[in-house]
Structure 1
Amino acid sequence: MAIQTKPIPALYTVYILRSTVRHTSLYIGSTPNPPRRLSQHNGVSKGGAARTSKGNLRPWEMVGLLSGFPSMVAALKFEWALTNPHLSLHIPSSSRLTVPGRTKRGRPRRPAKTLVSIISNIHLLLRVPSFSRWPLKLHFFAPEVHQAWKKWCSTVSEPLRESLVVVTDFGQAGLKASSKTKSAPHITDTDAETSGDSAMEDAEPWGIHALPLGYEPIKEYVAKGQNVFEFEREGNCVVCREAILSEQGLHAICTNDGCEGVGHLSCWSRHFLPGSDAGGDGNILPIQGQCPKCKGVVQWGDMMKELTLRVRGQKDVEKLLKTKRKRATKMKAPAKASAKHS
């Protein structure tokens, strides 16, 4: 098996596709680029899937998706489990919500998809050990789909983890209005709605077209990490207080603005999972915790994205930070020109 040499992707999603002609026709897929993939499903560009190629079902729309998958393989695993909840080994038999039908030869037949079945199985998969601790975020781009989610959540006794973020982003009455919401670790359900008048004036993209496809959301965080580690300003581990030796082991930096707390990866993990050395609750993957230096909340997923980008993706880092240098150069150019004229 090849060793993973790529950083955690900027974006990888599992999406729900719905026909705008017949809302009962649904499709599940995965992609790192939702706008491009939707264009393929609608026949605007090459690609897509045979299931979505029927002209009488187009155009399709993405009504929801999950983001934050740590790799393409991780997204494909979730996609397969969501598409085949009657067979997936990620779901215990006693917890299955979907029962397979039988063909004439006695083989299990995939049950037909409905909005409720997809919603209910997403809720189930987000609770099973295989996926419950992944840094996933749930997005809804259609009000009625979001309502279906809230209705299902109100009927299920098993809660999702408190740090799971649910974001809505949809235009009102078909208007292309931006209603983006920023995720926060303590928010579990964020509704973003815009009024008709303001939506008319707002030409910003919304829904899948407003999703960041690159690493821009963590640009400042990446720049901070580059500055600290390039100039060997790591200091002592914020957890164990021992000196951090450059290029010896894996070291992670606090995600919060203004804090340059650095620690050994193993120390951060133990700090976020108290009792892990003694067995604890059996969890080996942290979700979030408090930085010993700034006392702010640190998201493990964001920390790992920066770490893998720094260790495995220097080309991506250079591309991300190059924009800032180019802009600075362009800003200086007019000043030089004016100085010559004077």
Structure 2
Amino acid sequence: MSQNLQYPPRFYCVYLLRSIAKTNSFYIGSTPDPYRRLRQHNGELAAGGADRTKKNGFRPWQMTLVVYGFPSKISALQFEHAWHHAYQTRHIPDKKRIGTKSSSRSVHIKIANLKLLLSAQAFGRMGLRVAIFQKAIYDIWVMNRYNVAVAESVHLKLDFEESQQKLIEGGNYDQIKTFVKSLEKEEDDYFEKSLEELEQNEARECCVCHTVVDQFQDVLGFCASKDCHTLYHVQCWAEEMTKGLVSEPLSDSVLPLTPVKGKCVKCLKVNWWWPVVKNSMRLHRHFTEIGRSCIEN
């Protein structure tokens, strides 16, 4: 089971740029490094960028929104492509489609189609998250001109840029860098907590199947609650969370029956599934490297 695991990227997002000079101009892209990518779009780095964002009079650009939590680069690129081509993508049914190719420049339509994609069958079970960095974009999200319901699984994070002078001078670089670093710290804290919990757990039994776990072979899951010490086999926890759910065929990027969130068996606090899995994959890679090192030495 553990030999063919695909480790997720540390971070990969789909983003929405807005021209500070021409506020009705937007650009959709994807990247594992939004800080570097924004600098490319604004011409601060010679290599990279996109032809459309290089046009005279459009720079500087601000990164106003990012969608993140993708299990792979491929799934992020699929989402980016679908958002670019929302007027024809298979991920939005014809009866729900909003806008045409010529009208898709409207930011109200872009946000409406974003909401539709977040609820789409292929992406809805990924537990994707959205961070909004500009209040004007958040106001459009809340206004919801096309009355698109947002999936309950979507976690919204707000982080507005207070200094407009920074936006006049250039992109919101510090804001993006701080945002990514905060996510990395959350993941690092969760990882360190999991290592500590495993070390202190003498029984080392899965809370569901009650068999002893093997950190070098099994994929382990830990409750994210700071005060909970519960240990699982990830597969056991997934099966516990999805009891009673009807399996539906999803995209190749998602297992046929993947939880979005569920409660810890012991503390009953809700855990979002994607952070659990991402942490589990990091733990698996950590112990795999330790095991490989022991064999080589």
Same fold (TM > 0.5): yes
Q: Which residue of 2 aligns with 1:136?
A: 128
Please say if residues 176 and 206 of structure 1, whose CA atoms lie closer than 8 Å, have aligned partners that are also in contact: no
Q: Which residue of 2 aligns with 1:193?
A: none
Q: Which residue of 2 aligns with 1:217?
A: 186
Q: Are residues 1:170 and 2:171 paired?
A: no
Q: Are residues 1:147 and 2:125 paired?
A: no
Q: Which residue of 2 aligns with 1:89?
A: 90
Write the deviation string for residues 116-146 of structure 1: whole angstroms up to 9, x where unpaired: 1111100111111111122222122221111
2-structure distance, mates of 1:176, 1:54: 21
Q: Which residue of 1 aligns with 2:40?
A: 40
Q: Which residue of 2 aligns with 1:120?
A: 112
2-structure distance, mates of 1:30, 1:4: 26
2-structure distance, mates of 1:53, 1:65: 21
1-structure distance, mates of 2:4, 2:212: 28
2-structure distance, mates of 1:233, 1:247: 16
SS at structure 1 position matched to 2:100: coil
Please say if residues 220 and 234 of structure 2, whose CA atoms lie closer than 8 Å, have aligned partners that are also in contact: yes
Please point out which of 246, 267, 274 is paired with 1:294: 267
Q: What's the RMSD between the two structures over aligned residues?
A: 3.0
Q: Which amino acid aligns with 2:220?
A: H
Pairwise CA distance, 1:220: 2.5
Q: Which residue of 2 aligns with 1:64?
A: 65
Please point out which of 308, 328, 336 is paired with 2:281: 308
Question: How high is the TM-score relative to the length of structure 1?
Answer: 0.72
Write the deviation string for residues 184-226 of structure 1: whole angstroms up to 9, x where unpaired: xxxxxxxxxxxxxxxxxxxxx8632321247321222212323
- After TM superposition, the structure 1 = structure 2 runs for residues 1-342 of structure 1, keeping only pairs within 5 Å, are 7-45=7-45, 46-100=47-101, 112-152=104-144, 156=147, 159-172=149-162, 174=164, 207-213=175-181, 215-229=184-198, 233=202, 235-276=204-245, 279=246, 284-312=257-285
Q: Which amino acid aligns with 1:32?
A: P
Please say if residues 17 and 64 of structure 2, whose CA atoms lie closer than 8 Å, have aligned partners that are also in contact: yes
Pairwise CA distance, 1:95: 2.0
Write the deviation string for residues 248-275 of structure 1: whole angstroms up to 9, x where unpaired: 4322121111322111222201221121
Q: Which amino acid aligns with 1:215?
A: E
Pairwise CA distance, 1:163: 4.0
Q: Which residue of 1 aligns with 2:253?
A: none
SS at structure 1 position matched to 2:67: strand
2-structure distance, mates of 1:247, 1:259: 23
Greater Cα offset, 89-98 or 281-290:
281-290
Pairwise CA distance, 1:55: 2.5
Please say if residues 171 and 206 of structure 1, whose CA atoms lie closer than 8 Å, have aligned partners that are also in contact: no
- From the superposition, tell whether residues 142 and 47 of structure 1 become closer, same or farther in structure 2 (CA, over 3 Å): same
2-structure distance, mates of 1:37, 1:314: 33
- From the superposition, tell whether residues 233 and 304 of structure 1 become closer, same or farther in structure 2 (CA, over 3 Å): farther
- From the superposition, tell whether residues 76 and 233 of structure 1 become closer, same or farther in structure 2 (CA, over 3 Å): farther
2-structure distance, mates of 1:117, 1:173: 28
2-structure distance, mates of 1:12, 1:165: 16
SS at structure 2 position matched to 1:215: helix
1-structure distance, mates of 2:44, 2:73: 24
| Aligned length in residues | 276
Q: Which amino acid aligns with 1:306?
A: N
Question: How high is the TM-score relative to the length of structure 2?
Answer: 0.82
SS at structure 2 position matched to 1:211: helix
1-structure distance, mates of 2:125, 2:91: 14
Greater Cα offset, 42-51 or 258-267:
258-267
SS at structure 1 position matched to 2:48: coil
SS at structure 1 position matched to 2:64: strand
Q: Which amino acid aligns with 1:143?
A: K
Please say if residues 234 and 262 of structure 1, whose CA atoms lie closer than 8 Å, have aligned partners that are also in contact: no
- From the superposition, tell whether residues 206 and 167 of structure 1 become closer, same or farther in structure 2 (CA, over 3 Å): farther
2-structure distance, mates of 1:18, 1:159: 24
Highest RCO, 1 vs 2 (Cα 8 Å, sep ≥ 6)? 2
2-structure distance, mates of 1:238, 1:132: 28
2-structure distance, mates of 1:145, 1:311: 39
Please say if residues 237 and 243 of structure 1, whose CA atoms lie closer than 8 Å, have aligned partners that are also in contact: yes
SS at structure 1 position matched to 2:126: coil
SS at structure 2 position matched to 1:128: coil
Q: Which amino acid aligns with 2:176?
A: I
